Structure formats: C-alpha cells, structure tokens
Amino acid sequence: MNLFNSALGRNITLMHPKYFIISGFIGIPYIKYYYVFLCFVYVLSVLGNTAVMALIILDQNLRTPKYIVVFDLALVDLLGSSSLVPKLLDIFLFNHRYISFNDCMTFLFFCYTCLSMQTLNLVALAYDRLVAILFPLHYVVKVTHRFMLSLIAFFWVFTVAAVLTTVGLLTRLSFCNSVVINSFFCDHSQMYRLACNDYSPSLVITVLLACLYIWLPLVFIVFSYVCIGYALSKVATAEERVKALKTCSAHLSLVGIYFLPVLITFTLMDKIHPNARIINLSVTSIFPAMLNPIIYALQTQEIKASIKRLFKYKMQSKMKVRRIEIM
C-alpha cells in the first residue's frame, strides 16, 4: 500500500505542464515522404474498413458470429487510424509538436484503446477458428450471435476501464524533469519516465497491460493453432487439411502483421536505435488497419462471394433501369 500511496497521496502537489513536446523522428533524412506515405495509408485504411463494414451490414449471409468480430475489428481499425494518423500528420508534417496536457491524455486514451481492442479481436477470431475446426458439429451451439456480442462487449468494457486506469495514474504524476516525449505520439511508457515523483504504479500497470494485451493473447493464439494443427493431422486426406487451413489463412496473416513488429520491438528494445524503435512502433500501429481489409477481401471466400453478389445485383439493377427506359 505504501507504494501506491506515495504516488496517489492526497497531500502531494501535482505539477502538470501546460504542453508536452512530441519529439518524433530526429535526424532521419526525407522523413516528410514517410508522412505523405502515412496519409496514403490512412486513406486506404478508411476506404477498406468502411467497405468491409458496409458489406457485412448489407449482406445477410455475412451476419454470422464470426463477422461480428470482423465488423468490430474493422470499426476498431477505422477509429484507431482516425485517432492516430491525422494528429500524427498535424504534429510532424505541419510541425505542430506542442500538445496540451489534456489533449495528450485524450490522444493516449483513444490510441491505446483501439490498439488493445485489435489484439482482443484477434483472440476472438482465434477462438472462432478453434471451435469451428475442433468441434464442427457443436459450432452453432458454442459460437452464437449472443455469445460473440457478449464477448465483444466485455472486451470493450474491460479495455476502456484498463486504459482509463492507466490515464488516471498518469494524471497523479508530477512532470518537472522534462516535457519532451521521445515518441511519435503520447506514448505511456515514455511519459511516466518524465515524472519526478514515484511512478511505480504506472510501471506496474505497463507490465500488466503488456501481459494482458500482448503475451497472453499471443500464447492463446499459438496454443489454439497447435490444437488446430494436431486436429488436422488426424484428418484422413490432404485435401481436407488444406481446406481447413484456408479458413485460417486470413487470421494467421493478421496475427503475423500485428505481432511480429511488436515482438521485434520488445526483443531488441535496448539494441536498436530510438528512431528504429519509433518507426517500428508506428508501422505496428498504422499498417495493420490498412492491410486487414485487403487480406480479408483477398483470402476470405465469404467476402469474395459477397462482393460478387453485390456487383451482380448492381448489374441487374442497371439492366432493369435500361429496360424501363426503353419501354
């Protein structure tokens, strides 16, 4: 209790700066081209995720428990990109590196909430694939609309509470050492190190969040695919194995895109240049939102079929209009 009281005591006079300074990428030549590229990535992310959400809403065949998670993933990617990229471009492309204390807390909240929900959606999709392949006869009973909606709702409530706690602990710190954040956004791990009072609670919650949103999800996903691999090894024909693996290909691609840069950053944290760490984190935060809808459009048969049905319906509508005009 003394540890937390030292940071949350009532008699502490807190010193909050009026502004923080986002240092970003220092000494990298032609970095403005990277920002322009991020703008292109953001446009693709918005278009792609909006299209996936629209398909799921319009096509009744996609209103399944699995696509509840896919819809939420697209929503999270859209919200995450919109909360991060425009502000990032404003900071660096237009050199507005000063950000107020309250705006920084808000920026941190939305970024961490969306990034955390990305991970939990991948966990939900892994569970969906695990049940579909290991218990195909019980899939309809085990994975229902109500179950998936309840699971996603629980993930949202838990994540919002966890991130609000993280932000709340930051507001109980005094920032009298420095106001320069060595990152491309209001990075929690960089911010609490700027405090001049005890930041042990923030350090503890950083470790807890890393376990809850990186390591435990990764362990569960790896375990689920070990079980899937074992189950597929018992399947009689190679054709059935390939068919089952195809249903997992999109999800495996998403897992690789999200977790590999994160693992590289955590593994080589002390060995890589700070700029390399920042670029790697920015890629991890931004690129999955662009690639997720592309991967699902290219690798998921249901999405392909939905796009074909949509185009076929449009063509038929145009033909009807032309016939009416001729008549």
Mean pLDDT computed over every residue of the chain: 83
Least confident of 150-154, 205-209, 246-250, 288-292: 246-250
Residue 13 has pLDDT above 70, yes or no: no
Instruction: Name beta bridge partners: 98.
Output: 21
Residue 72 has pLDDT above 90, yes or no: yes
Residue 77: pLDDT band with limits 50, 70, 90: very high
Q: Is 316 contained in some domain?
A: no
User: Which CATH number fits the domain that encloses residue 54?
Assistant: 1.20.1070.10
Backbone conformation region of residue 9, classed left if phi is above 0, alpha if psi is from -120 to 50, else beta: beta
Question: Which contiguous run of DSSP H or E holds residue 321?
Answer: helix 301-326
Q: Is 327 contained in some domain?
A: no
Least confident of 48-52, 78-82, 120-124, 246-250: 246-250
Name the most confidently modeled range: 6-10, 25-29, 183-187. Answer: 183-187
> What confidence tens digit (pLDDT) does each residue in 101-157 have?
999 999 999 999 999 999 999 999 999 999 988 888 889 999 999 999 999 999 999
86 contacts: CB under 8 Å, gap ≥ 6: 42
Residue 170 has pLDDT above 50, yes or no: yes
Q: Is 144 contained in some domain?
A: yes
The Cα 262–Cα 130 span in angstroms is 24
Q: Is 314 contained in some domain?
A: no
Q: Is 323 contained in some domain?
A: no
Instruction: Output the pLDDT for position 3.
Output: 42
Instruction: Output the pLDDT for position 2.
Output: 39
Q: Encoding tokens for residue 327?
A: 């008549």
- Cβ(247)–Cβ(132) below 8 Å: yes
Domain count, the chain: 1
Residue 324: pLDDT band with limits 50, 70, 90: low
Rounded to 5 degrees, what angle do the CA atoms 251, 257, 258 make? Answer: 90
Instruction: Output the pLDDT for position 6.
Output: 45
The Cα 145–Cα 209 span in angstroms is 28
CA distances from 62 to 71, 288, 291, 303, 305 (A): 10, 22, 20, 8, 10
Residue range 226-244: mean pLDDT, rounded: 79
Q: Is 224 contained in some domain?
A: yes
Bigger pLDDT: 263 vs 55: 55
Residue 125: which domain range? Answer: 2-299
The Cα 34–Cα 234 span in angstroms is 48
Least confident of 22-36, 39-53, 138-152: 22-36
Name the most confidently modeled range: 96-110, 241-255, 260-274. Answer: 96-110
Instruction: Output the pLDDT for position 71.
Output: 94
Residue 271 has pLDDT above 70, yes or no: no
Token look-up 């420095």 returns 178
Instruction: Output the pLDDT for position 98.
Output: 87
The Cα 175–Cα 315 span in angstroms is 62
Instruction: Output the pLDDT for position 268.
Output: 64
